[in-house]
Amino acid sequence: MTTDQPQLFSYSGSTAPDTPFPFAAPARLADLMAPDWAEVLAPVRTQLEEIASELEAERRAGQHILPSPENILRVFQRPLASARVLIVGQDPYPTPGHAVGLSFSVGKEVRPLPRSLNNIFAELHTDTGITPSPSGDLSAWADQGVVLMNRVLTVRAGEAGSHRKRGWEEVTELAVRALAARRRPDGTRVPLVAVLWGRDAQGIVPFLGGAPTVESAHPSPLSASRGFFGSRPFSRVNELLVQQGAQPVDWRLGAVR
């Protein structure tokens, strides 16, 4: 999600449509994500089926699960091989209509933007001079190999952190380890920089195998002034990519510099 703190509201709306969770048995991972991600996540296939069963039970009990079923595994739809930056979130936005399966991102139509995302855009401008578009859709970053991954991939509407300890942490731990383990034919590491905002994200450091990180406080309004603002994450990421022989990320989102 976009905050290290509990959400300050509850949700009492209607339940979501009865769309099947696509990773329930007997679906094949290769039909749901990029082939290289399907290969590395094969060891947690049974766990994904168990998570799907738990989510279905919650939904039948009247809970609204976010994001929509087809977006839950969206972060794995772009190839693992193209990844060069990892930005770690906590869990999806619990506000209905916000969660899209990519950490910190929202749909193009969402207004106003979540406060954490506004803070990210403010720091983007301070750091790089880029003025972002009004849209909070970060898929242009994902298209460049920025993996926008939450540690937990689902949440109950209005209840931040409600799907912790359901098995998602093991799934995303395996994903992080796979990102960090990639090697070129000569044995050198494939370039990767991990952006870790807040304590939850920084908990993945042991899985990164020494990959360089950019760490600071979380962009939540409750913590951004305690080290996120002024941390220059975007330029620091690009410096670390160039040091590894990789191309920098173009952080523009359809805006003019």
113 CB neighbour count, 10 Å cutoff? 17
Per DSSP, the three-state class of 155 is strand
Q: Is 137 known to be catalytic?
A: no
Contact criterion met (CB below 8 Å) for 19 and 28: no
> 18, 36, 91, 250: which is the annotated catalytic residue?
91
77, 34 Cβ separation under 8 angstroms: yes
**CA nearest neighbour of 218 among 96, 115, 106:** 115
Strands, E, within the chain: which ranges? 65-66, 85-89, 146-150, 155-156, 193-197, 213-216
Pair 249, 238: CB distance under 8 Å: yes
For residue 81, the tally of other CB atoms under 10 A from its CB is 12
Q: At what angle do helices 233-243 and 115-128 cross, to 10 degrees?
A: 60
Calpha distance 95→40 (Å, rounded)? 31
Question: Residue 178 is encoded by which pair of tokens?
Answer: 């796979």
Catalytic machinery residues: 91
